[in-house]
Amino acid sequence: MKGKGGTTAIVAVGAVMIAVLGWVYTAPYPGNTGLSRTPGVIIGGTDTPPVSDWTTVDEGGNLIMKMAGFPPFVVYLNYATTPEGIITATRPDGGYWARRVRERGGDGWLRIGDATYAMTATEVLGDARLPMLQLWAGSPDADISRPLAGVGEPLDTWEVFFWTPR
């Protein structure tokens, strides 16, 4: 007599599948107070060849980043552009994507608008990070030694990754 137990199991598996599919097709998504750190798996966009000057693709605001490999990992990031590549930064809190770049290499994709570019991230260490953080903050004269509103730690403690075409 497996009717009631079997039906319950089928309903439970169906509910889990619906939840997983819902997450796959809706995450990542911006939170109410900025960018969500909830990852997704689909980056979307159109595969686009690299450009010769990355400042020409600067739409301001956010991009979507997907790391290569398994498991798929897609998040929104703030960014800044230079002619040679794209700057991203993250809090020094041991976040997953920064660890993954260090441990597995930085291959991934960046989506800006509808264009998706195959890129490689390289961590920038030491004082070389500071001018990049100032650009990321929006000004080469930005005071990055003060704690950021709503975040706590000063920007000059953040980790920096520079993305170039692969």
Series of mean pLDDT values for 10-residue runs along the chain (166 residues): 71 66 48 46 91 91 90 89 95 89 94 95 96 89 78 87 97
Domain tally, the chain: 1
Q: Report the pLDDT value the prediction gives residue 61, as an integer from 0 to 100.
A: 78
DSSP letter for each residue of 61-97: SEEEEEESSSS-EEEEEEEEE-SS-EEEEE-SS--HH
Q: What is the domain-level CATH number for residue 52?
A: 2.30.110.10
Indicate whether 52 belongs to any domain.
Answer: yes
Q: Report the pLDDT value the prediction gives residue 16, as an integer from 0 to 100.
A: 66
Q: Report the pLDDT value the prediction gives residue 33, as an integer from 0 to 100.
A: 36
Q: Report the pLDDT value the prediction gives residue 28, as an integer from 0 to 100.
A: 47
Indicate whether 35 belongs to any domain.
Answer: no
Indicate whether 86 belongs to any domain.
Answer: yes
Indicate whether 151 belongs to any domain.
Answer: yes
Indicate whether 24 belongs to any domain.
Answer: no
Indicate whether 18 belongs to any domain.
Answer: no
Q: Report the pLDDT value the prediction gives residue 20, as an integer from 0 to 100.
A: 54
- Owning domain of residue 138: 46-165
Indicate whether 140 belongs to any domain.
Answer: yes
